[in-house]
């Protein structure tokens, strides 16, 4: 036991040079583990992965045991191509044609960030760029907008238990408002939301909690998101909401 501890201390001293640490993996401390527990608890049959980027979220929930249907949406064409490649070996994971969601059907220009994950329909705040310089916008692309109202009214979705994950860099409120007629049929929603605004005109977490409460949802779980590593300030968090009719 003493030798193991000395070995661990030595390894951690070396890893500290690279800002890394050796530690035991505990599933109960992993947010994705709890997401999958939630999906399975409510017998979710379909996850709508809105703002999929390259499929990081879908791959994680599959890794932690979710084996029902996933449908991912990504508007940026170059990223969408990579998303298609990343999903190829998973039978339960499908990719919708390149498109985004909003309050209304139409077309809208999206700002493309250098790192692609920070791409947004909204303008970015300076505090975001100070923490993550690769969030800088380097281009724009005209993309197709869908609405949850139109998408979920299709007959094939009417009898499914649905969970919606929305990670759209400040545009979440618009997507929720575009689903005002169908959200009562949805079991759960997960959104990324701001504590301190990182995009101009985005709704902060208190507004989003009130909005989803209005549509009949209650907070189920919360996880720390985008954080200033120098100061420890949390700027964004992920919140899972469950339809009160399911509780």
Per domain, the residue ranges of the chain are 24-246
The 10s digit of each residue's pLDDT in 211-246 is 999 999 999 999 999 999 999 999 999 999 999 999
Mean pLDDT of the chain: 93
DSSP annotation of 44: -
β-sheet bridge partners, residue 242:
188, 218
The 10s digit of each residue's pLDDT in 149-176 is 999 999 899 889 999 999 999 999 999 9
DSSP H helices in the chain: 2-16, 31-41, 56-63, 77-87, 126-131, 148-152, 172-177, 205-214
pTM of the model: 0.89
Query: What's the CATH code, domain 24-246?
Result: 3.40.50.150
Q: What is the CA radius of gyration of the chain?
A: 19
């Amino acid at each position: 036991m003493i030798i193991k501890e000395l070995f661990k201390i030595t390894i951690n001293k070396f890893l500290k040079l690279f800002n890394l640490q050796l530690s035991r993996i505990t599933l109960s401390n992993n947010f994705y583990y709890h997401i999958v527990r939630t999906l399975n608890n409510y017998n979710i049959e379909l996850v709508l992965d809105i703002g999929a980027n390259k499929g990081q979220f879908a791959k994680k929930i599959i890794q932690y045991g979710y084996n029902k249907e996933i449908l991912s949406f990504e508007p940026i064409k170059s990223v969408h191509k990579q998303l298609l490649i990343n999903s190829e070996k998973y039978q339960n994971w499908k990719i919708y044609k390149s498109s985004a969601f909003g309050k209304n059907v139409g077309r809208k220009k999206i700002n493309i960030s250098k790192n692609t994950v920070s791409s947004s329909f909204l303008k970015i705040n300076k505090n975001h760029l100070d923490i993550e310089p690769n969030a800088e916008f380097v281009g724009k692309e005209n993309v197709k907008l869908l609405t949850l109202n139109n998408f979920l009214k299709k007959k094939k979705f009417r009898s499914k238990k649905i969970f919606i994950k929305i990670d759209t860099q400040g545009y979440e409120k618009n997507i929720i408002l575009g689903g005002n007629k169908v959200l009562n049929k949805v079991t759960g929603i997960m959104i990324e939301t701001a504590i301190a605004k990182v995009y101009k005109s985005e709704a902060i977490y208190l507004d989003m909690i009130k909005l989803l409460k209005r549509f009949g949802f209650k907070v189920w779980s919360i996880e720390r998101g985008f954080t200033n590593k120098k100061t420890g300030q949390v700027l964004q968090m992920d919140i899972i909401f469950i339809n009160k009719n399911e509780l």
